[in-house]
Amino acid sequence: MIYLDNAATTKVSEAVFAAMKPYFCEQYANPSAIYTFAGKSMKAVDEARKDVAGLIGAQPNEIYFTAGGSESDNWAVKAAAETYRAKGRHIITSAIEHHAVLHTCQYLEKQGYEVTYVGVDEYGVIKLDELAAAVREDTVLITVMAANNEIGTIQPLKEIGEIAKRNGILFHTDAVQAYGHIPLDVDALGIDMLSGSGHKLYGPKGIGFLYIRKGVRIGAYVHGGAQERSRRAGTHNTPGIVGMGAAARLAAADLGENMKKQAALRDYLIQRVLDEIPYSRLNGHPADRLPGNASFCFRFIEGESLLILLDQKGICASSGSACTSGSLDPSHVLLAIGLPHETAHGSLRLTLSGETTKEEIDVTVEELKKIVGRLRSMSPLYEDFCKSQEG
Amino acid sequence: MYSEKVMDHFNNPRNVGEIENPSGVGTVGNAKCGDIMRMYLDIDGDGIIRDVKFKTFGCGAAVATSSMATELVKGKSIRQALEVTNKAVMDALDGLPPVKVHCSLLAEEAIHAALWDYAEKNNITIEGLEKPVDDIEEKIEEEY
């Protein structure tokens, strides 16, 4: 099997799994309990909090563990909207956010909030002038993702942070794809809130966090016990938190050389595909993109067919085609960067991990060439195109 | 999510290709929704479908329904071909996931579009055949 869907989820690294193991059957105490047995668990939670914070230049007491990226996004956006309702009911976001932010914004619209969806350029970079122009007196939140999950484009967070700060508006970023993959510093970038998730960086599923800058006042989202400074109730997911901490620690060591290596392999993949498969295009920014993300569109063919045939060769990939989204429309991200529907339907996302090898990339490109050729040979769009070229 | 039959017809589609100077050819669907089917028919003087070919841009179900539809009409009379409904195509494939039902409607429509073209070329009327809709998706949305 060749696994190239690491943006969907990653394998838990052996080191992370080893760190988590004692917290299931041995050190199983509820960390909030008073006895000595529980103290070790709380200590492990605190250590993990330091590691998670360290990766983004935050303080440990600014990290709130959640059940994952979607919860963090929901919390940040809904709680900010609710807490600052008296100031205003306007939110600014981008057209290419993950559904965890997009659908949360749409939910708020139904509650009487107004949302501006700022557009992006052909590479998927947010239009900063449009963003600045969208700011109103009643704007309470700017939420723009750090890097896009489909096309990998990294957003100009520093510039967005400056616009937010200049106007006294909270700035939240969904960094689920970026956290642990590119350097992020909440102070340098002017970030007030940041969502992260464990399973995108070789940690376990079901654990994430929301960074909330000290002094930022937003309400709780999950009400109940006094965990997480009374801002996020629920018994600590000790193994998950320990795993998240271990993953963050490993990622910190990996951010330099290893990510450069991954980016070089990504560029090799991109170059081979663009050189060897006609009528293909790269989606997203050619340079400012996640080290592991390669996103393509192949004209005249449809993404789901492509995925099934890749799967038969043991290659795991994903697509933003309509058929994979459960609706008739292709991905909102691909449409937002200006692709016509028929091109957007033929998208393929390959996302690498630290374990991906050049051999795996070579096999994938060879199979891809055959599969794209086969699907084109039975495509009426390709037939029409060839005839128009002849004519 | 797909039955074995769907996977078989997707992996080994029957009757893929074109017919030169076909008796009738019809293209349905649109690129916006992500499925386009083109059906070519070769019909002899007795009104029997001697050969049929297809080309499809679309998902696994779209390819499989096109393939199955060609098998169901090949060697049949025009009348019999008109009786190949989307349900017949689906049943022959051992069913489709609910979100893919529109693919089978497209297959039925592709047969009708090719027959319509045949009727127009020969200046005849085929009883029970209605002019195919230009945008299949509009029809589907009404039906849901």
Q: B76 lies in a domain?
A: yes
The stretch A115-125 carries a mean pLDDT of: 98
In the predicted model, what is the mean pLDDT of residues A229-238?
96
> Quick one: pLDDT at residue A202?
97
Comparing B132 with A206, which gets the higher pLDDT?
A206
A209's CB contacts (< 8 A; 6+ apart) are A52, A63, A64, A65, A66, A72, A195, A196, A244
Q: Tell me the whole-structure pTM to 2 decimals.
A: 0.94
Query: Which residues in chain A touch residue B29, judged by CB atoms under 8 angstroms apart?
Result: none
Instruction: Report ipTM (2 d.p.).
Output: 0.89
In whole angstroms, what is the distance from residue B39 CA to residue B109 CA?
10
In this predicted structure, what is the pLDDT of residue B103?
Answer: 87
Amino acid at the residue A92: I
Check if the beta carbon of residue A146 is closer than 8 Å to that of residue A184: yes
Asked whether the beta carbons of B97 and A324 are under 8 A apart, the reply is: no
Structure tokens at A280: 């293909």
Question: Do residues A95 and A332 lie in contact, with contact meaning Cβ atoms separated by under 8 Å?
Answer: yes
Which residue, chain included where needed, has tokens 């997911």? A237
Domains and CATH numbers, chain A: 14-254 (3.40.640.10), 256-390 (3.90.1150.10)
Q: What contacts A133, CB < 8 A, 6 or more positions away?
A: none
**pLDDT, position A248:** 98
Least confident segment among A1-5, A151-155, A193-197, B130-134: B130-134
3-class DSSP string for chain B: CCCHHHHHHHHCCCCECCCCCCCEEEEEEECCCCEEEEEEEEECCCCEEEEEEEEEECCHHHHHHHHHHHHHHCCCEHHHHHCCCHHHHHHHCCCCCHHHHHHHHHHHHHHHHHHHHHHHHHCCCCCCCCCCCCCHHHHHHHHC
Q: What is the pLDDT of residue B138?
A: 46
Looking at the complex, report in whole angstroms how far the Cα of residue A168 sits from the nearest Cα belonging to chain B.
42
CA-based torsion, B52, B57, B60, B65: positive or negative: negative
CATH of the domain at B101: 3.90.1010.10
Per annotation, catalytic residue among B33, B59, B88, B133: B33
Kindly list the residues from chain A whose CB atom is less than 8 angstroms away from the CB atom of residue B100.
323
Q: Cα(A9)–Cα(A4) distance, rounded to whole angstroms? A: 10
Active-site choice (A105, A297, A316, A323): A323
The pLDDT-based confidence of A323 (bands split at 50, 70, 90) is: low
* pLDDT grade for B1, boundaries at 50, 70 and 90: confident
Is the pLDDT score of B57 beyond 80? yes
* Distance between CA atoms of residues A243 and A249, nearest Å: 10
Nearest chain B alpha carbon to A371: B11
pLDDT at B99: 85
What sign for the dihedral angle of Cα B93, A327, A345, A331? negative
pLDDT of residue B133: 73
User: What is the pLDDT averaged over residues A61-69?
Assistant: 98
The answer to whether B18 touches B40, Cβ cutoff 8 Å, is yes
Checking if the pLDDT of A295 tops 80, the result is yes
> To 5 degrees, how large is the angle CA A66–CA A67–CA A70?
95
What pLDDT, on the 0 to 100 scale, is given for residue A390? 85
Residue B140 resides in a domain: no
Instruction: Return the SS3 of A143.
Output: strand
Q: Which of B28, B81, B92, B103 is catalytic?
A: B103
- pLDDT of A391: 73
What integer pLDDT is reported at residue A1 of this predicted model? 97
pLDDT digits (tens, 9 = 90+) for A19-41: 999 999 999 999 999 999 999 99
pLDDT computed for residue A326 by the predictor: 57
Mean pLDDT value across residues B49-78:
96
Cα-only R_g, chain A: 22
Q: Is A383 on the interface with B (CB under 8 A)?
A: yes
CB contact under 8 A, B11 and A381: no
**Domain limits for position B65:** 4-123
Residue B135 lies in a domain: no
d(CA B78, CA B85): 13
pLDDT bucket at B102, cuts 50 / 70 / 90: confident
What tens digit of pLDDT does each residue of B8-46 get? 999 999 999 999 999 999 999 987 778 999 999 999 999
Nearest to A378 by CA among B56, B6, B116: B56
With a CB-CB cutoff of 8 Å, which residues 145-164 of chain A face chain B?
none
Residue A175 clears pLDDT 80, i.e. is over it: yes
Kindly give, in sequence order, each residue whose CB lies less than 8 Å from that of residue A381, ignoring residues fewer than 6 positions away.
A299, A300, A342, B31, B36, B57
C-alpha distances in Å from residue A263, one per residue of A182, A225, A356:
11, 43, 11
pLDDT score for A258 = 86
Residue B132 located in a structural domain = no
User: Taking the alpha carbons of A157, A163, A168, A169 in that order, is the dihedral positive or negative?
Assistant: negative
Residues A380, B33: C-beta atoms closer than 8 Å:
no
Six token digits for residue A160 = 């967005």
pLDDT of residue A333: 96
Tell me which chain A residues have a C-beta less than 8 angstroms from the C-beta of B99. Answer: 326
Would you state the pLDDT for residue A249? Answer: 97
CB distance from A387 to chain B under 8 Å?
no
Residue whose C-alpha is closest to residue A7's, from A145, A128, A177, A224 = A177
On the question of pLDDT at B142 being above 80, the answer is no
Give the count of domains, chain B: 1
Nearest to B31 among A304, A342, A382 (CB): A342
A157-161, A204-208, A248-252, B96-100: segment of lowest average pLDDT: B96-100
Q: Which pLDDT does position A205 carry in this prediction? A: 98
For residue B15, give the chain A residue with the closest CA: A378
- pLDDT at position A327, please? 62
Q: What is the chain A residue with the closest CA to B1?
A: A308
Check whether A315 has a pLDDT greater than 70. Answer: yes
Q: Tell me if B59 and A302 make a contact (CB, 8 A cut-off).
A: yes
Q: For residue B27, what are its two tokens? A: 């293209």
pLDDT at residue B135 is higher than 60: no
* 3-class SS of residue A88: coil
Residue B105 domain-assigned? yes
Instruction: Convert the pLDDT of each residue in A128-158 to its tens digit.
Output: 999 999 999 999 999 999 999 999 999 999 9
pLDDT in tens, A262-288: 999 999 999 999 999 999 999 999 999
CA-wise closest residue to A175 among A88, A58, A256: A58
Q: Is the pLDDT of residue A9 over 90?
A: yes
Mutate to test the interface with A, among B1, B9, B59 (most CBs of A within 10 A): B59
Which H or E element spans position A150? none
Tell me which of A297, A299, A323 to substitute to probe the interface with B (most B C-beta atoms closer than 10 Å): A323
Residue B47 forms part of a structural domain:
yes
Length reported for chain B:
144
Query: CA-CA distance, A12 to A358, in Å (whole number)?
Result: 21
Q: Checking DSSP bridges between strand A193-197 and strand A208-212, what pairing results, if any?
A: antiparallel
Q: Is A197 helix (H, G, I), strand (E, B) or coil?
A: strand
In a domain, B67, yes or no: yes
pLDDT of residue A214: 97
Across A110-136, b (16+ Cβ under 10 Å) vs e yields eeebebbbbebeebbbbebeebbebbe
Name the residue facing A341 among B31, B38, B56 (closest C-beta).
B31
Residue B141 lies in a domain: no
Any catalytic annotation for residue A323? yes
Q: Looking at A354-358, B19-23, B40-44, B138-142, which range is the least confident one? A: B138-142
